[in-house]
Amino acid sequence: MPLKAVILIGGPQKGTRFRPLSFEVPKPLFPVAGVPMVQHHIEACAKVPGMKEILLMGFYQPHEALSRFLVSAQQEFKIPIRYLQEYAALGTGGGIYHFRDQILSGGAEAFFVLNADVCSEFPLQEMLEFRQQHGDAHSFVILGTTANRTQALNYGCIVANTDTQEVQHYVEKPSTFVSEIINCGIYLFTPAIFQHIGEVFQRNQQELVLEESSNGWQRAEVIRLEQDVFTALAGSGKLYVYKTDGFWSQIKSAGSAIYASRLYLNQYSKSHPERLAQNKAGGPIIRGNVYIHPTASIDSTAVLGPNVSIGEGVTVGAGVRVRESIVLHGASLHDHTCVLNTIVGWDSTIGRWARVEGTPSDPNPNDPYAKIDSETLFRDGRLTPSITILGCSVTIPAEVVILNSIVLPHKELSRSYKNQIILSCCLQLPGRSWPISQAGEL
């Protein structure tokens, strides 16, 4: 059966919680477990028999890094991969409806839609088999998983028939408890979905007929699969949920990227054992799952892991300790530094005997259905303790401590900081501002 896949990568306005890391590369290209975030999606799609083409869809402007990635991904996975640029943010349904001719070209009988900001085992083949066993040739499948009752309110909630798994009721981020089954942002559609999206489009147009608006057409095309389409399809006998017990998490913030890296590194023991570093003579001490780029230079006395990803051209000196962290391209960790729960930005430097540490934002380990919470940057007027982030080309001097802080790109620090955003401007929030010359403790 001819298949296609659409990966929704959003745009620059959608990666705000990922700053300052998304200043340097589009969020979908941020490395998670050693490879760009969206490459995990592409690998999963390329393994599905019958996959003819993978389409990345979003509203990023043409970008050199994105173009390079598409070329290398096509060569690696031997499958056509294209980027379709929306003229504006059209929503999760508006984009695929706008490019429906591109999706259907070549006679695709079904296609996957995946949000780029999730990490998962991507049970795509299982979703195909499930659809063959449930519903008819024109039914649609949502990938679902179980969350705890409190956190389920932060997601799309699905009420399904326990026997048939038909979706009977769908509510996006309800105000009260509806169901523990949540939407994972991964879907399997047939071309028939465009009829249902088209009905929403026609309704949007009709509602705009009496409005004098120069951008009425654009507004009519803004369609949300979750609120506009799934809510209407629920109970119609055409929408089903495939519940997975495999790992799944959103990647909304930098803190969740470290957690996602851990999930993917754990999966590598089965899917890509060659990507995991091993203890060997003359090499660093490896504890748990660690990815090290082949071009990185690591001193044999360094201790790495668990959950560490070391990028291209990174230098790690003697006696360095790194745990639960991502160290990006070109960074340098001088002798005896300690890096915990931190993302070290591209080409950043940490001086000798310095300690850079953050607070993990992992789900509750005692709750098997707990998900990572959506972090708020501020709570009660203060910076919420979370992982430490060093932006691009940050310099940390020797023998200082950086704790629970965010350092914007191209900063050269001179002392220790705790619970601060370090920048050189006035930090603006709605209705208030804090003047910050070099660092702001909120």
Domain ranges of the chain: 3-250, 281-422
User: In sequence order, what are the beta bridge partners of 315?
Assistant: 297, 332
Q: Is the pLDDT of residue 284 over 70?
A: yes
Contact, 166 vs 239, CB < 8 A? Answer: yes
Both tokens of 341, joined, read: 């729960």
Strand 332-333 relative to strand 315-316: parallel, antiparallel, unpaired?
parallel
Same fold, 3-250 and 281-422: no
Q: Domain 281-422: what homologous superfamily?
A: Hexapeptide repeat proteins (2.160.10.10)
Q: Between 372 and 336, where is the model more confident?
A: 336
The confidence band for 428, taking pLDDT boundaries of 50, 70 and 90, is: very low
User: In sequence order, what are the beta bridge partners of 406?
Assistant: 389, 421
Q: Is 319 left (phi over 0), alpha (psi -120 to 50) or beta?
A: left
Instruction: Give the tens place of pLDDT for each residue, 183-228.
Output: 999 999 999 999 999 988 888 887 776 565 545 455 778 889 999 9
Instruction: Give the tens place of pLDDT for each residue, 371-420.
Output: 877 666 666 666 677 899 999 999 999 999 999 999 999 999 999 999 99
For residues 277-314, one letter each, b for 16 or more C-beta atoms within 10 angstroms of the residue's C-beta and e for the rest, the string is beeeeeebebeebbbbbeebebeeebbbbebbbbbebb
User: In sequence order, what are the beta bridge partners of 4?
Assistant: 53, 111
* Assigned fold of 3-250: Spore Coat Polysaccharide Biosynthesis Protein SpsA; Chain A (3.90.550)
Closest CA to 144 of 193, 178, 101: 178
Instruction: Give the tens place of pLDDT for each residue, 67-114.
Output: 999 999 999 999 999 999 988 888 889 999 999 999 999 889 999 999
Q: Is the pLDDT of residue 13 over 80?
A: no
User: What is residue 1's predicted lDDT score, i.e. its pLDDT?
Assistant: 84
Contact, 360 vs 324, CB < 8 A? Answer: yes
| Amino acid in the structure at residue 322 | V
Both tokens of 247, joined, read: 């790992």
The rounded mean pLDDT for the chain is: 88
- CA 104 – CA 99 distance, rounded (Å): 9
User: What is residue 53's predicted lDDT score, i.e. its pLDDT?
Assistant: 97
User: What is residue 433's predicted lDDT score, i.e. its pLDDT?
Assistant: 38
HSE, CB side, 13 Å, CA atoms: give it for residue 397. Answer: 8
User: What is residue 4's predicted lDDT score, i.e. its pLDDT?
Assistant: 97
Contact, 298 vs 292, CB < 8 A? Answer: yes
Residue range 318-324: average pLDDT?
Answer: 98
